[in-house]
Structure 1
Amino acid sequence: MERLTVTIISADMHEDIQQKAVEITVTAIEKYTIEKDIAAYIKMEFDKYYHPTWHCIVGKHFGSYVTHELNCFIYFYVKNVAILLYKCD
């Protein structure tokens, strides 16, 4: 199995939850090839573990400006794919 490079760009999230985000994302990337499916998997897992409502954007080219709950935001890369994950009710 290939070791994936992870780079956290910005986070307002406890370190243990950041680690869970990375683990779930790696699993999603191993299971799916379509970015929409990767995002859906990450979102559903976070809704399950950390209660709704999480939002996830996955891709190589996107801009964003979001409002999020305290301690519920992470923006990171796995290889060359960006993941934006945040909670907002």
Structure 2
Amino acid sequence: MATEKKDKLEPQIKSVDMTDDMQQEAVEVAIEAMDKYHIEKDIAQYIKKEFDSRKGATWHCVVGRNFGSFVTHETKHFIYFYLGHCAILLFKTQ
């Protein structure tokens, strides 16, 4: 079942300032989060904590279907993408 869900969740990158490897990792962590959780704040918390742990603090994550944003981020540490109908904004600040 998890494999079927992953197949359905094809990422659509909308805006990015991040290495290809880090982009892939962001998508993989987001898929893990969506497999484990169904509440948007829990998905965001999982992604944020994983990236803090893997890449160092301080990461921020917003997950949802309808939101606006305007953020300042560290160079090469920003991604905004969709998995299915869910938008994910992930970025790092100092």
TM-score, normalization by structure 1: 0.98
Structure 1, unaligned stretches of length 5 or more?
none
The match for 2:82 among 73, 77, 80 is 77
Task: Give the structure 1 partner of residue 29 of structure 2.
Answer: 24
Write the deviation string for residues 43-88 of structure 1: whole angstroms up to 9, x where unpaired.
0000011000000000000000000000000000000100000001
TM-score, normalization by structure 2: 0.93
* Partner AA of 1:9 in structure 2: K
Misfit runs of 4+, over 3 Å: none
Residues 1:86 and 2:61 aligned together: no
Task: Give the structure 2 partner of residue 34 of structure 1.
Answer: 39
Q: How many residues of Structure 1 are paired with residues of Structure 2 in the alignment?
A: 89
Structure 2: how far apart are the matches of 1:47 and 1:67?
17
Identity in percent: 55
